[in-house]
């Protein structure tokens, strides 16, 4: 009986820990990075809403590795901000938007 109680407590403790780690923030929209085949240092990043309509587009004249997790997270966070405040993109300088979020040199 003692072993059963200990096993039940261990199972309950691990299942609670597993549930706590599954909480992911809700992402709105998505982004697409496009590279130029002639000029590899030029990339275009487009942000779309949930209906696949273009919200914002910016060209980056520098190297940006979108395979890195920190860059992907920064772009996703930026996409969420653009989705929340649609007038945000219209009121700022397009060159500073992505460079500020990703620390990219222009």
DSSP 23-46: --PPP-SEEEEEE-SS-TTEEEEE
Say if 7 falls within a structural domain: no
Backbone angles phi, psi at 98, to 5 degrees: -75, -35
Say if 80 falls within a structural domain: yes
Say if 10 falls within a structural domain: no
**Whether the Cβ atoms of residue 46 and residue 95 lie closer than 8 Å to each other:** no
Over the stretch 33-86, which tens digit does the pLDDT of each residue have?
998 788 878 888 898 988 888 888 888 887 788 899 998 888 888 888 887 776
What span, in angstroms and rounded, lies between the C-alpha atoms of 25 and 22? 10
- For the chain, the domain total comes to 1
* pLDDT bucket at 99, cuts 50 / 70 / 90: low
Quote the pTM value.
Answer: 0.63
Domain extent, residue 74, equals: 26-102
* pLDDT bucket at 105, cuts 50 / 70 / 90: low
Say if 18 falls within a structural domain: no
């Amino acid at each position: 009986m003692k072993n059963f109680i200990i096993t039940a407590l261990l199972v309950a403790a691990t299942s609670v820990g597993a549930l706590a780690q599954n909480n992911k923030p809700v992402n709105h929209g998505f982004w697409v990075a496009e590279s130029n085949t002639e000029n590899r240092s030029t990339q275009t990043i487009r942000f779309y809403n949930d209906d696949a309509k273009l919200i914002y587009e910016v060209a980056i004249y520098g190297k940006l590795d979108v395979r890195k997790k920190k860059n992907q997270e920064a772009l996703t966070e930026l996409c969420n901000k653009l989705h929340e405040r649609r007038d945000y993109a219209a009121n700022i300088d397009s060159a500073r938007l992505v460079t500020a979020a990703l620390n990219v040199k222009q």
